Amino acid sequence: MSERIFPNNFLWGSASAAYQVEGAWDKDGKSESIWDKYVRIPGTTFKETNGNLAVDHYNRYKEDVQLMADLGLKAYRFSIAWTRILPNGRGEVNQAGIEFYSNLIDELIAHNIEPVVTIYHWDLPQGLQDEYAGWESREIIEDFVNYAAVLFEAFGDRVKYWVTLNEQNIFMTLGYVQAVHPPKVSNYQRMYNANHIANLANALTIKKFRAMGMTGKIGPSFAYNPAYSIDSKPENVIAAENYEAFNSSFWMDVYINGKYPKTVLKGLEKLDVTIDIRPEDHEVLANSRPDFLGINYYQTNTAAYNPEDGVSIGKMNTTGEKGSSEEAGVPGFFKRVQNPFVERTNWDWEIDPQGLKLGIKRITNRYDIPVMITENGLGEYDKLTEDKQIHDDYRIDYLSSHVDAIGEAIAEGSEVIGYCTWSFTDLLSWLNGYQKRYGFVYIDREEDDATAKLTRYKKDSYYWYQELIKKHS
């Protein structure tokens, strides 16, 4: 794309999450999160991997920031561990946690890298989960807003971009429907009520941000998988419309317009689900429009008709064995099927750069709001050669085609303010261990912490992104 397409202040960045990179899971006053506990359950993760050490970013952040600076990053999106700041979830602030993130922010700014802070990236304090079932209780709203206020007070003088909740749709559906994330239950009723509480927490956090007079911008980050119909057969087109409503509009409509789609609420009645929406909730949701919408984009989904006795929760591919995932859906509404026109990764994620353009355009047309691409990347097997090189042309092809798609969307009228790849370094891929690699920087480790060398090596994609940023700067 022409350099003129992307604005001069475009945030060319990359991203990470605290649990996936930091390690030091019990150091300097940090308490246990739900993920620290969850990964100890046998069989939950690939080869029983955990984030106890991760890639040791907690102790090596200066080295990692120097690598970012050498690459030329304009922004770095990272999350703050609630458990480092408020070990009990509320109450006394852990100054060691404040100091770590303050030092990281200062290090970024010293290297002319804009910090983009995610307030919540899935690592809820285990104490709050034990006390009142976490997101299933309205008690969490006050605790979350107070936690966010601590961050605004401590870092708001230096941080200008804030992400409230990362992929609420993912941590809710995987935790409360598919039962592969904590709290590992499968119950639509519990999921939709917990999700509504998270919506209120998001809205009131945005309200608090503005009440405190913070300068900068704030918004949630949503995992958007735009839906296609498998063909033009009417029942399949309707299924795709249902898919988009249930899996995308249901969240984005609330974030931006403060209202749930009527067709989804009606559909939930068919599933015997009633959301506990109280009269005062409507005003809360209606008055907290974000400044931007973060989009985490990896793939599109293709939908087809799903009969009343059709598929429901299918198997996820968390092993990297291509073709091992299963069809899944909601009986009577839709099912997800393979798109015959796109390639797939070894984890069965569909590679579709034009789907990113489609998603951005749909958001522009429906909501007219600026977009920040908060995640986009390719998880694959990377190999370190004998001469310590990593030739990941497949990642370069993936990222460059998605950058082109963003440029096309901008040229056609959408406002995109930044692009943060996932991820800067290799990291723990939640259920998938360390074999599924995303980074520009290779981390020399496998699943066993004891043998982890943690040496950093620049991949070919590192140099490609370096040149791309120079071209557009």
**CATH code where residue 193 lies:** 3.20.20.80
Region 168-195: mean pLDDT is: 96
Query: 428 lies in a domain?
Result: yes
Q: For residue 3, is pLDDT > 60? A: no
What is the structure's pLDDT at 347?
Answer: 87
What is the structure's pLDDT at 313?
Answer: 81
Region 112-128: mean pLDDT is: 98
| pLDDT tens-digit series, residues 52-95 | 999 999 999 999 999 999 999 999 999 999 999 999 999 999 99
Query: 373 lies in a domain?
Result: yes
Tell me if residue 52 falls in helix, strand or coil: coil
Rounded (10°) angle between helices 57-71 and 460-471? 50
Contact 194, 172 (CB under 8 A): yes
What whole-number distance in Å separates Cα of residue 430 and Cα of residue 426? Answer: 12
Contact 85, 72 (CB under 8 A): no
Picking from 270, 226, 243, the residue whose alpha carbon sits closest to that of residue 371 is: 226
Q: For residue 252, is pLDDT > 60? A: yes
Q: For residue 2, is pLDDT > 60? A: no
Report the predicted TM-score, pTM, of the whole model to 2 decimal places: 0.95
Tell me if residue 225 falls in helix, strand or coil: coil
Place of tokens 């941080």: 159
What whole-number distance in Å separates Cα of residue 294 and Cα of residue 10? Answer: 14
Amino acid identity at 292: F
| pLDDT tens-digit series, residues 397-427 | 999 999 999 999 999 999 999 999 999 999 9
**Within 10 A of 473 (CB to CB), how many other CB atoms are there?**
12
Cis bond leading into 429, ω under 30°? no
Element (H, E) at 176: helix 168-176
Q: Given pLDDT bands bounded at 50, 70 and 90, which one contains residue 27?
A: very high
Region 261-278: mean pLDDT is: 95
Query: 332 lies in a domain?
Result: no
Query: 400 lies in a domain?
Result: yes
Report CA-CA distances (Å) from 334 to 230, 309, 310, 313.
11, 12, 9, 12
What whole-number distance in Å separates Cα of residue 402 and Cα of residue 419? Answer: 10
Amino acid identity at 450: A
Per the structure, how many domains does the chain have? 1
Report CA-CA distances (Å) from 60 to 56, 212, 425.
6, 33, 12
Q: For residue 291, is pLDDT > 90? A: yes
* Residue range of the domain that includes 37: 11-229+279-299+348-471
What is the structure's pLDDT at 238?
Answer: 97
| pLDDT tens-digit series, residues 415-470 | 999 999 999 999 999 999 999 999 999 999 999 999 999 999 999 999 999 999 99
Q: For residue 320, is pLDDT > 90? A: no
Which residues carry out catalysis?
167, 375
Q: What value, to the nearest 5°, has the Cα angle with vertex 40 and ends 35 and 45?
A: 75
What is the structure's pLDDT at 319?
Answer: 82
What is the structure's pLDDT at 375?
Answer: 98
What whole-number distance in Å separates Cα of residue 163 and Cα of residue 413? Answer: 24
Query: 417 lies in a domain?
Result: yes
What whole-number distance in Å separates Cα of residue 340 and Cα of residue 350? Answer: 10
What is the structure's pLDDT at 321?
Answer: 87
Q: Given pLDDT bands bounded at 50, 70 and 90, which one contains residue 315?
A: confident
Segment among 151-155, 318-322, 430-434 with least mean pLDDT: 318-322
Tell me if residue 181 falls in helix, strand or coil: coil
Q: What are phi and psi of 372, to 5 degrees?
A: -115, 125
Region 35-45: mean pLDDT is: 95
Region 163-176: mean pLDDT is: 97
Region 175-186: mean pLDDT is: 95
Q: For residue 100, is pLDDT > 80? A: yes
| pLDDT tens-digit series, residues 360-394 | 999 999 999 999 999 999 999 999 999 999 999 99
Contact 151, 85 (CB under 8 A): yes
Query: 314 lies in a domain?
Result: no
Report CA-CA distances (Å) from 367 to 195, 296, 371.
21, 17, 10
Q: For residue 1, is pLDDT > 60? A: no
What whole-number distance in Å separates Cα of residue 60 and Cα of residue 63? Answer: 5
What is the structure's pLDDT at 153?
Answer: 98
What is the structure's pLDDT at 339?
Answer: 95
